[in-house]
Structure 1
Amino acid sequence: MNKSVLVVEDEAAVRRSLSRLLGERGFRTIDAANGREAIERLAAETPAAIIIDLLMPVMSGAELLKALRRNPFYRRIPTVVMTGALDSELSSVGQVLGVPVVFKPNLSNLPDLIISLIEKSAALITPEPTSHPQKITDAVDTA
């Protein structure tokens, strides 16, 4: 089973904390500081799950999540949104797009949530298509 998780977070200290938390559960993290970097990482490797911070420079988590949801290949990857924002409009973005929302700094339950989502998606997902996935940048360019 793929044990990698793409962590998209602009704060290096939070990325390190998540890497440690997930590493303790056997996951390897792939780091990205913003949505654009995440797209570059996705072009090189398909993770088992994605954790996205909402508020980031360059390309926000909401923009990245929308791009992922428009792409049939990437929308199948279990995704979690995390935010430290108390703004109800911001925190509802994940709910509107159908992904769990975790609030910072309460991230201790995140590894269990990731494991649960990966297990559920493995049971629901049909085998991956044999053709190469559409580039995620195609979805972003239309955003």
Structure 2
Amino acid sequence: MSTTAMKIGELARRTGLTASRIRFYESIGLLGEVGRRANGYRTYPSEAAVTLELINAAQKAGFSLDEIRTLLPGELGRWDHDALLGTLRRKVAEIEALEAKLAASRAGLLTVIGQIETRPEDIDCTANARRVLGSILGGLDET
């Protein structure tokens, strides 16, 4: 691995992240050790760009920062293959459960929309709202 150090501005340009976001990831321990020059400027190894890209991709895939912390190895060459696969499979299962819940919510909303749109001509909006709510609540009468 390369040991070429770069300042935060260059790292930000390489990764497309803001310097404040990089400092945040550093402050919560996702970036590991960061060097400091005599003038106080941070210096990052080239591997920091790979780590930041992994963090960014994992967040886009729905992983929380705590989940990402458990996924990232101390060194990029030391992945725990089984733990990584297990975590990725759990995330897929969570996404599938969320998709099922969203599909059920969508179906319920479409049913309500259909009931509202098929309002009988002889009732007003208030009566239709009672009719729709009654069907949603299992036919309970509104009094």
Is the shorter-chain TM-score for this pair beyond 0.5, marking a shared fold?
no
Compute the TM-score of the two structures, normalised by the length of structure 1.
0.26
Q: State which structure, 1 or 2, has the greater radius of gyration over its C-alpha atoms.
A: 2
Q: Which structure's residues are more often helix, by fraction? A: 2
TM-score (norm 2): 0.26
| Structure with the larger strand share | 1
Q: Which has the higher contact order (CA 8 A, sep 6+)?
A: 1
